[in-house]
């Protein structure tokens, strides 16, 4: 697309997501389930899917292995995504979501994925750096597979500096803790309020609290910009140009699954188009608001994203 820098999304631990429902979820009995709905899953895959929905272009680099990996690759092709395939060190994992029709509760079973070794990690970093185009963006989103030690994103940052591509990371757990304590800054680091409060060791009840915490991470060299997602209260970003808040639309939440990936899609697409950072924050927030209105597998709808962005409320903090 003219006017858009290249975007490469990276998914090292994809999954074949199976969703189904049962009358009730109880132990010991055989539970008769509906025919499962199958979707290709994983943070980077979802970001690429949402970018396409919003009207942008990206390339999805996905590590796939075995029969399940072949199935996921075919689904990605059917979805019209531009895919760069990496060879995973084992069978691509599956995940299972079962909705209890009696209570409406959803039970999500997530498998770990194949274990990686250090030699494969080094080759993967080289492959990402080679695929990343100058002036473009690389998005690393979702959990890292077993065997990839914290510090992967920092190693990738060092490699990407040569190619002048920018790196956005949306991760959690040990990888997020390593990034927060690093002095090798990624370009954009995103987390939710729960993760931010865990890192801060204190509640962050107000937007200003989230912004102050994010600015502290920027000051300490963890990232050039830090985004904290505040759920129904929208998102906050802190960076060299100060701190901003974008309000979420008031909508009925059907499923929060995929909201974070939709946010990243909107944000990185706007940045790739050269928009001001506060407008990128607003487009990401509009995409997240649109995503919570749909069932988990659907991400966002383009017309909802456009509508919510047209109604955006951006505040300088």
Annotated catalytic residues are 261
The helix (run of H) or strand (run of E) holding residue 107 is strand 106-110
C-alpha span between 258 and 260 (Å, rounded): 6
The answer to whether the beta carbons of residues 8 and 131 sit under 8 Å apart is yes
Q: How far apart are CA 206 and CA 230, in angstroms?
A: 9
Q: Which two tokens stand for residue 185?
A: 């800054």
Length of the chain, please? 317
HSE (side-chain half, CA atoms, 13 Å) at 15: 22
Task: Specify whether the CB–CB gap between 262 and 299 falls below 8 A.
Answer: yes
Which residue's structure tokens are 């209260």? 233
Separation of alpha carbons 57 and 91, rounded Å: 28
Place of tokens 């940052």: 157
Between strands 15-22 and 37-41, the pairing is antiparallel
Q: Which residues contact 117 (CB under 8 A, 6 or more apart)?
A: 89, 147
For the record, the structure tokens of 176 come out as 């997020």
């Amino acid at each position: 697309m003219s006017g858009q820098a290249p975007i490469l999304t990276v998914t090292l631990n994809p999954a074949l997501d199976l969703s189904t429902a049962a009358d009730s979820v109880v132990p010991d009995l055989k539970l008769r389930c509906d025919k499962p709905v199958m979707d290709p899953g994983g943070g980077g895959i979802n970001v690429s899917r949402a970018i396409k929905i919003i009207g942008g272009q990206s390339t999805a680099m996905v590590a796939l292995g075995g029969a399940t990996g072949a199935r996921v690759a075919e689904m990605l092709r059917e979805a019209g995504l531009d895919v760069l395939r990496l060879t995973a060190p084992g069978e691509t994992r599956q995940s299972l979501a079962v909705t209890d029709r009696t209570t409406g509760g959803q039970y999500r079973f997530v498998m770990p994925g194949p274990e990686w070794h250090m030699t494969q990690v080094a080759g993967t970093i080289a492959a990402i750096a080679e695929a990343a185009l100058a002036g473009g963006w690389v998005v690393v989103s979702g959990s890292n597979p077993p065997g990839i030690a914290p510090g992967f994103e920092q190693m990738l940052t060092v490699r990407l500096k040569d190619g002048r591509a920018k790196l956005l990371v949306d991760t959690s757990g040990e990888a997020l803790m390593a990034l927060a304590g690093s002095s090798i800054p990624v370009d954009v680091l995103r987390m939710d309020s729960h993760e931010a409060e865990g890192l801060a060791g204190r509640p962050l009840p107000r937007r200003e609290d989230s912004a102050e915490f994010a600015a502290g991470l920027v000051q300490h060299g963890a990232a050039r910009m830090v985004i904290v997602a505040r759920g129904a209260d929208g998102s906050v970003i802190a960076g060299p140009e100060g701190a901003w808040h974008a309000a979420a639309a008031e909508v009925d939440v059907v499923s929060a699954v995929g909201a974070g990936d939709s946010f990243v899609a909107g944000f990185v697409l706007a940045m790739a188009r050269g928009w001001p950072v506060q407008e990128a924050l607003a487009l990401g927030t509009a995409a997240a608001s649109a995503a919570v209105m749909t069932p988990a597998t659907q991400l966002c709808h383009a017309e909802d994203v456009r509508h919510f962005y047209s109604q955006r409320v951006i505040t300088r903090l």
